[in-house]
Homo-oligomer: A and B are copies of this chain.
Amino acid sequence: MKNTFGTALTLTLYGESHGPAVGAVLDGLPPGLPVDEASIARRLARRRPSGPDATARREPDPFQLLSGVFRGHTTGTPLCINIPNTDTRSADYLPDRPRPSHADYAAHVKYCGHQDYRGGGHFSGRLTAPIVAAGAILLDALAARGVRIGTHILRCGGVPDRPFAAPPRDLANDLDALDAAPFPALSPDAPAQMTAAILAAKADRDSVGGVTQTAILGLPPGLGEPWFDSLESLLAHALFSLGGIKGIEFGDGFALADLRGSQANDPLCTDGRAVVTTTNHAGGINGGLSNGMPILFQCAVKPTATIPRPQPTIDLRTLQNATIAAAGRHDPAIVRRLPPCIDALTALVIADLLFQRPPSPTLP
C-alpha cells in the first residue's frame, strides 16, 4: 500500500521536502478522542532540529488540522494534518549528482527522472513531521488507557546510555524522566557526551550513527496475530519506513543467537495478581503476541548519509564518474531526531490493534 499503513487505523503520507506542504491523513480513529494542539506542537518541537549539533534549517511546523476534529475532539472521520513548507533552499541540491547512500539514485531510476529531487523530495526526513503530529494524538489517547511508549538513544557516536530499567515500576519512572528531558537519554552524563561526539563529527564535516531503545508499557497479553501480523512484523514494518534505520531487534535480539534455550527462556510465574515472566529476554513478545510484559526493542540507525565532504558519485546526464560535496543543511546525527518518530510509529501500530472502532454501536 505504498504510503498508507495500518489495518483498522491507517496513516496516509504525502508531500515533498521543497513542495507546498507535507502532511498525513489518519483514518479509523474512534470518535471523541481529545485533540490537544499543544501536545502536537510539543512533540513536533522535540523532533525539530535545535542546538549547535543540528541542521541550520528552521522548520516552525505550523501544522493545520484540516478535517476530522470538531470542538477539540476527533469526529471518527479522517483527520488530515497539513504542514506547509516555508524555509526551503532548493539551490542547495544538485539534481544530477546523486548523494551516496541516499535514495537519490534509486528514486531517479524508479520514477524515470520525474521525481522531485529537491531535498530528497518525498524521501526527505521532513515527512516525519506529519508522522510525529499524528503520533501525538495517538500517544495521548494510549496514555489515557494506561499504555505508555518512550524511546531513548542507547548509543551514539560511541557514547552509551544505560538501558531501560527492567522492573515495570522503574521503567515507568524512566518514561517519566524521558518525557521531561530535553535530550532523549537516561544517564545523567549521556546528553553532554553524545552532543560532544556529534559536534566532533560535525567539525570533521562528518556524521555519526547510533542505536535507540524503545519501551511499551501497559499492553495486555494477546495483542498481535500469528504469522504475518505478528507484533514484531507490524512494528518492524512501520519502523523500517524510517530511512536511517538498518536493523531492529526485540528483547535481547542478536544476543539471543549465542544463548542456549535454558538461558534465553523467560520462566512464567504468577505474582498473585497476574501472570508474569521472571526475565524478559523476549522483549514481551512470544509467537508474535504480546505476553503482558513490557515490549522492548532496539533500532540501529546509520550515520547521516549527507555529509559536506566530497564523495565519489556519478553524473546522471553523462553517466561519468563525478564528485559531490553536500552544501545543504543536514543533521550530523539523525539518531538525535528519531525518538519522537519511533514513538509515533510505535503508537500507530499499537493503537491500530487496541483502538479498533467499536463494531456494533448503540444509541448513547
28 contacts between A and B (CB under 8 A): A2-B10, A2-B27, A2-B225, A3-B229, A4-B4, A16-B75, A22-B67, A23-B67, A31-B114, A32-B112, A76-B111, A101-B286, A105-B286, A105-B291, A106-B291, A110-B361, A201-B260, A208-B260, A221-B363, A223-B361, A233-B236, A246-B256, A248-B249, A265-B307, A275-B314, A282-B302, A354-B359, A356-B356
Is A144 among interface residues, defined by CB-CB distance under 8 A? no
Shortest distance between the CB of A207 and any CB in chain B (Å): 4
Shortest distance between the CB of A298 and any CB in chain B (Å): 8
Residue with the greatest number of chain B CB neighbours at <10 A, chosen from A155, A268, A309, A321: A268
Interface size of A by CB at 8 A reads: 157
From B98, B101, B261, B314, A304 is in contact (CB under 8 Å) with B261
Interface residues of A in 242-284 (CB under 8 A from B): 243, 245-254, 256-270, 274-275, 277-278, 281-283
Given known contacts A115-B77, A249-B246, A313 and B206 CB-to-CB distance under 8 angstroms: no
Q: Is B66's CB under 8 angstroms from A15's CB?
A: yes
Stretch of A52-60, A120-128, A172-180, A188-196 that contacts chain B: A120-128
Q: Is A114's CB under 8 angstroms from B211's CB?
A: no
Stretch of A41-49, A78-86, A132-140, A163-171 that contacts chain B: A78-86
Given A4-B10, A75-B114, output 17 extra A-B contacts at Cβ < 8 Å. Answer: A1-B228, A4-B228, A8-B8, A13-B78, A22-B67, A76-B115, A104-B287, A109-B361, A201-B260, A206-B262, A208-B261, A221-B363, A227-B241, A228-B237, A247-B254, A256-B303, A259-B303
Q: Is A106's CB under 8 angstroms from B265's CB?
A: no
